[in-house]
A and B are shown apart, each in its own frame.
Chain A
Amino acid sequence: MSDAGYTRRLSPGTRAALGVFARYGTIIGLLVMILVFSFLSPHAFPTYNNFINVLSQASLAMIIAGGLTMAVIVGELDLSVGYAASLHGVLVTGLIVANHLPIPVAVLIELALGAVIGVVNGVIVTKLKVNSVIATLGVGTVLVGLSFAYSAGVPIVSGVPESFLQLALGRWLFGIPNPIIFMALVFGGLWLLVERTAVGQEIQAVGGNPAAARLAGINVDRIKILGFVLSGMCAALTGTLLAARLGSGTTNAADSYLLTAFAAVFLGSATLRDGEFHILGTLIGTLIIVLGFNGLNIFGAPTFSQFVFQGAILIVAVGLASLGRSLAES
């Protein structure tokens, strides 16, 4: 606690102001962004259609980020999610096109496979005691290899049935796009799990202090594996929906979700709480990133600016989270 850094010497007023900034800075940023985009582009940006469109686009990133949140809550990193999602996209398309499996069966197989990848990650981390950064980077790289082995790197485009595309492009209740509905179900489920179930309490305990959780009688390894399994299943859902949206299975289609998901998760940890990972925060974090992209697109900003934006926001997010923790502890 004596390492609270520069924050400890601040006056109470400054600390209070910084505290508000650390906790609500992301939400303020979100509102400012909406206002600025609305002002600059009053006909394109602040419309119901654009909102639904943005949210629908954001849904895929949100689902994968929601899963990643589960891995980081239990105190681990999962770098395999992007590669895993790409592999799932290729496989699900293959299962439907080449093996003629019914769509629900193919999707369920992907979800099960996602869970298996999670178990593999979790077992390597907890039983073989390999650092999760290395373990999941290794597993992720193997997944890239599997994806190439399956498709020889050639996108699967022909023969994709219209009904599969409907998974991502269709609309359901009140004309809401399906991805938004999937996303809402995933986030509702994860939020309930973490905040309102007994297992959720154990998940929070393991992330907060593994030693204390272990001595309180919690099976820490099992909880960590569960975190990876949820992460793996969310990656499977995102990969499947992306393949449906693109109408093809492409070996590296979902790779870039990794960075988006990380930025979203860390931005989320700086939202409402003092540097603690949580589901609602991830939701808001992803929204900020996707809205930022959308705004840049509307103004025709060059591609490079999107990378600059995403990298910068990751750093700002981690900075805010650590500022919040530092203020809470000093």
Chain B
Amino acid sequence: MAAPPAVPFVAANAISKSYGGAQALRDASLSVLPGEVHGLVGANGAGKSTLIRILPGVTQPDTGEIAIEGRPVAIVSPHAASGLGMSFIHQELAFVPDMTVLENIMLGLPKKTTRLGLVDWSAIQRDVAPIIERVGITAPLDAAAKSLSTAENWLISIARALVWKARLIVMDEPTASLSAGECRKLFSIIRGLSTSGVAVLYVSHRLDEILDLCSRVTVLRDGRSVAVLGGPDLTRRGLVQAIVGGAVEHLPKSRGAARGEVVLSVRGLCRLPRVTEASFDLHRGEVLGLGGLVGAGRSELARLLYGADRPDAGSMTIEGRPFAPRTPAGAVRAGLGLVPEERRTEGLLLGKSVAFNLSLGNLTPLLASPVLPFISLRKRARLAQATIRDLSIKASSPEQPVGRLSGGNQQKVVIGRWLRSKPKVLILDEPTRGVDIGARGEIHRLIRELAGHGMAVLVISSEPDELPDLCDRVLVMAEGRIVRELAGTDLTRSAIIEASYALTEERVSA
């Protein structure tokens, strides 16, 4: 590790933090130079989230020291962190949906007033105009924030940081819900920030983006900062090795397994405007991928399959019987299972135990006797223990609140819920979003295993990398239609990406 050539804008030294008995950070260090795009990577549970909660003063470290431009500081609150020139943009964006773009940019910031003491919006608008232009906000400033896309709301957050004169902006998984085009735009803004002297701490699981953007990368593992890679050392292989801390295990593909009869058949399914026409068959024992850009209509299609929305037209059958779910409960009764995209808000009860969450929606096996309606807590604990073991969920006990687990382990709990009820069809929406490489491999293995036991599995993913490894067959959606089916040797990352853009390009050339 070469000594940094300049005084870092922020340097965190030997930070330790424990929650109850769990040591989240041990002597972790991080330094970000002025104007640098610095990556922060690590498996889930490696301590990334704790570190980026400590920098903005959301959490206080047990020991360790933070210095801004060489001067030790105490960051007692997010407000104090802003005053020191640090701004944080979190995964879940914080903005007020009903307020305008400009009001959101100025949220919590001191505002110019007229002589009467009223907020002088026209003066503010003049002042922030250069910043608006710099980050490329094209929406009208008086539009309601809720009418904007996720990407545009990112721009609002960045603009807010710049109005605050931030010298370091921390971005946590910024591209998680952005489309490819939106990502490119964000990257060019990040580069622009960097040239104008604003440092960015970029936290992501997407190594391609990290390699593309960052000049140096800090790798956390088990709460320690195990490597700072930069220059020629900064390679994909080097990063993966540092993150995993050992040899990388490759997933053995079990493709070409004889696929069984059709379980779910979908014909002409339509719900405008997002789903214009979808027809496909899903077979027993098959892992079918559903790829495409964000906004192509995949999640909307899944909602139709799951009874969360009703189609305008089209029909479905499960094992030959008509299937027209009116509610998710109806879909579950007909043999469907769903692992939703937003696992924290739609998949789990964070305050409840692992055992409670595992048994949600599948309580019959827990009944103490066939006649009485009572459940046996002993049975629940035993079944939970078995699932925890089978899926190697890292939990201290079945009674641990699920909110305390890492993202990958939370996802395993959601999947584990369907393990015992054995639905005929299991739909997984972005099953490895925000999950580290190690847990991702385990989740993929688990999905293959479920298919191996005869379940028909549909995996929705916006990461083209994910589908070729995992699926027997991939359908690519674009603008509400299934535009291509890929299987066998055609099933590659580049083919998926190509098909995702196909329709758009045809439109452009036409």
Contacts and interface: CB of A to CB of B under 8 A. Distances in A.
B361 interface: yes
A131 interface: no
A197 B374 contact: yes
Interface size class of B (residues with CB under 8 A): 35 or more
A218 B350 CA distance: 17
Contacts of B53: 2
Contacts of A197: 373-375
Interface in A186-202: 192, 196-202
Nearest to A205: B360
A161 interface: no
B78 A9 contact: no
B95 to A, nearest CB: 14
Contacts of A328: 351
Contacts of A274: 351
Contact of B347 (A200, A212, A218): A212
Given A2-B53, A201-B363, A217-B333, A9 B77 contact: yes
Contact of B348 (A2, A198, A212): A212
A308 interface: no
Interface in B321-350: 327-329, 331-333, 338, 340, 345-350
Contact of A217 (B350, B361, B373, B377): B361
Contact of A201 (B308, B328, B356): B356
Contacts of B333: 217
A196 B417 contact: no
Nearest to A221: B327
A214 B348 contact: no
A17 interface: no
A201 B375 contact: yes
A16 B281 CA distance: 56
A215 B367 CA distance: 22
Nearest to B361: A216
Nearest to A328: B351
Given A2-B53, A198-B375, A215 B366 contact: no
Give the one of B59, B331, B345 with max A CB within 10 A: B59
Contacts of A205: 349, 352, 356, 360-361
Contacts of A204: 349, 352, 356
Given A2-B58, A201-B375, A212 B308 contact: no
Contacts of B50: none
B90 interface: yes
Contacts of A196: 374-375, 377
A219 interface: yes
Given A198-B373, A211-B346, A212-B345, A217 B351 contact: no
Interface in A154-205: 192, 196-202, 204-205
B332 A276 contact: no
Nearest to B401: A328
B345 A209 contact: yes
A17 B359 CA distance: 33
B306 interface: yes
Given A201-B375, A213-B360, A208 B349 contact: yes
Nearest to B348: A212
A82 to B, nearest CB: 30
A72 to B, nearest CB: 15
A192 B366 CA distance: 15
Interface in B48-66: 53, 58-60
The prevalent SS among residues of A at the interface is helix
A201 to B, nearest CB: 6
A274 B350 CA distance: 13
A204 B338 CA distance: 20
B196 interface: no
Interface string B58-81: 111000000000000000111000
A200 B350 CA distance: 18
B504 interface: no
A204 B363 CA distance: 13
A192 B372 CA distance: 12
A217 B349 CA distance: 14
Contacts of B417: 216
B392 interface: no
A8 B374 contact: no
Nearest to A197: B373
Interface string B422-454: 000000000000000000000000000000000
B195 interface: no
A9 to B, nearest CB: 6
Given A208-B351, A215-B328, A328-B351, A198 B345 contact: no
Contacts of B308: 214-215
B396 interface: no
Contacts of B367: 198
A17 B333 CA distance: 47
B352 A9 contact: no
Nearest to B18: A12
Nearest to B352: A208
Considering the complex of A and B, which 9 residue pairs feature the smallest CB-CB distances, nearest first?
A: A217-B332, A216-B361, A198-B363, A208-B349, A217-B361, A219-B329, A216-B360, A211-B346, A209-B349
18 contacts: A8-B59, A192-B374, A198-B366, A201-B363, A201-B375, A204-B349, A204-B356, A205-B361, A209-B348, A212-B346, A212-B347, A213-B349, A214-B308, A215-B328, A216-B361, A217-B361, A218-B361, A328-B351
Interface of B: 53, 58-60, 76-78, 90, 306, 308, 327-329, 331-333, 338, 340, 345-352, 356, 359-361, 363-364, 366-367, 373-375, 377, 417
Given A9-B77, A205-B352, 19 more contacts: A9-B60, A192-B374, A196-B375, A198-B363, A199-B373, A200-B375, A201-B359, A205-B360, A205-B361, A208-B352, A209-B346, A209-B350, A211-B346, A212-B347, A213-B360, A215-B347, A216-B332, A216-B360, A276-B351
